[in-house]
């Protein structure tokens, strides 16, 4: 590393650099969502249609993980530069040390995050209130009926007409209509999807002792049909990357049984392993739902469609 000397203190300071600022300003990555201190991006390591690249500050050090990649696709800022630029450790240090970083790169973002989250939640709640005034329950019910699942009125979905995008969405309040932090939006006549607000798990409470956990709301609604259980409570992660929110959720709900049915793909399998780790810290019995794995399809909704 000609011309540059790097001490252990230099390395420590590099790991304290605001990784969100770094990827946005130096790698030109745009944030796609934010929840619980984690910011999500499209991966710089591969092409993807759903953001699964996560960045968070943990115990004073910034870390990243690519949930859609391999298990070793994680690390600190030095390892990220190695992977993105395809260089070795010493060259990555040279690249990082050749830049000057303003003091703002070392500021903790807790207060910024709190204000950002509050603003997003306020926006989602205000929008939801407006949507309910012009909602069409018949159209909402027809959407779910066409998907082969049952729509339950307490879920509280509403139609959202995005005039800028010229698309109509089904907006589902998450985690519930009464404690809304986000609207999970799925296009009525297409495949577009987005989250408005501060993304979170989705929850539909029925039997407090049993909870089915899947990755999507449609998978949950398909799951009650596949399992033949219309009393089990339903929880959707809404993203495999949101699996870390399960800890607080399970602590609050304290169920007797957790039925787990993540997607049959790499991110889903990693989310399942992480979920099992978190569920194991509770008193709940774990029941793995693997019908879709045996059928060779991605998720419970696709399994239901294949068997219809």
Radius of gyration in angstroms for the set of CA atoms belonging to the chain, rounded to a whole number: 21
Per-residue model confidence (pLDDT) at position 108: 52
Residue 161 has which token pair?
């007409």
- Reading the block at residue 138, the tokens are 């018949």
Which phi and psi angles does 171 have, rounded to 5°? Answer: -105, 120
Q: Is the pTM of this model over 0.85?
A: no
Look at 99-108, 173-182, 208-217, 259-268 and tell me which has the smallest mean pLDDT. Answer: 99-108
3-state helix, strand, coil in the chain (%, to 5): 40, 25, 35
Q: Express each pLDDT in 251-276 by its tens digit.
A: 999 999 999 999 999 889 989 999 99
202-218: pLDDT as tens digits: 999 999 999 999 999 99
Q: How confident is the model at residue 1 (pLDDT cuts 50, 70, 90)?
A: very low
Domains of the chain listed by start with CATH number: 8-108 (3.90.580.10), 110-200 (no CATH), 203-308 (3.40.1360.10)
Q: How many CB atoms lie within 10 A of CB 255?
A: 22
Q: How many CB atoms lie within 10 A of CB 148?
A: 15
Query: The tokens 């530069």 sit on which residue?
Result: 81
Which stretches does DSSP call E strand in 36-166?
Answer: 38-41, 53-58, 61-66, 74-75, 158-162
**Is residue 176 very low, low, confident or very high in pLDDT (cuts 50, 70, 90)?**
very high
CA gap 28, 281 in Å, rounded: 39
Rounded to whole angstroms, the Cα distance separating 20 from 41 reads: 10
Confidence (pLDDT) at 172: 98
């Amino acid at each position: 590393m000609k011309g540059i000397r790097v001490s252990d203190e230099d390395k420590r300071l590099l790991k304290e650099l605001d990784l969100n600022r770094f990827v946005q300003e130096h790698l030109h990555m745009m944030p796609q969502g934010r929840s619980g201190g984690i910011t999500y991006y499209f991966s710089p390591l591969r092409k993807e249609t759903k953001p699964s690249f996560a960045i968070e500050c943990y115990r004073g050090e910034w870390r990243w993980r690519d949930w859609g990649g391999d298990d070793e696709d994680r690390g600190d800022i030095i390892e990220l530069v190695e992977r993105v630029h395809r260089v070795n450790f010493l060259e990555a240090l040279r690249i990082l040390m050749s830049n000057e970083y303003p003091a703002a790169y070392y500021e903790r973002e807790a207060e910024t995050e709190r204000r950002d989250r509050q603003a997003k939640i306020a926006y989602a709640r205000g929008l939801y209130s407006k949507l309910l005034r012009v909602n069409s329950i018949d159209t909402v019910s027809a959407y779910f009926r066409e998907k082969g699942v049952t729509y339950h009125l307490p879920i509280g979905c509403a139609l959202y007409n995005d005039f800028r995008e010229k698309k109509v969405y089904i907006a589902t309040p998450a985690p519930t209509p009464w404690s809304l932090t986000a609207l999970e939006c799925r296009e009525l006549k297409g495949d577009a999807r987005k989250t408005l607000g501060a993304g979170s798990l989705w929850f539909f409470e029925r039997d407090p002792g049993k909870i089915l956990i899947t990755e999507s709301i449609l998978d949950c609604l398909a799951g009650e049909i596949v399992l033949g259980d219309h009393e089990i409570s339903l929880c959707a992660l809404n993203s495999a990357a949101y699996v870390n929110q399960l800890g607080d959720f399970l602590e609050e709900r304290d169920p007797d049984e957790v039925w787990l049915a993540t997607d049959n793909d790499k991110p889903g399998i990693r989310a399942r392993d992480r979920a099992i780790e978190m569920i194991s810290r509770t008193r709940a019995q774990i029941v793995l739902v693997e019908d879709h794995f045996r059928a060779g399809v991605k998720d419970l909704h696709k399994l239901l469609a294949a068997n219809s």
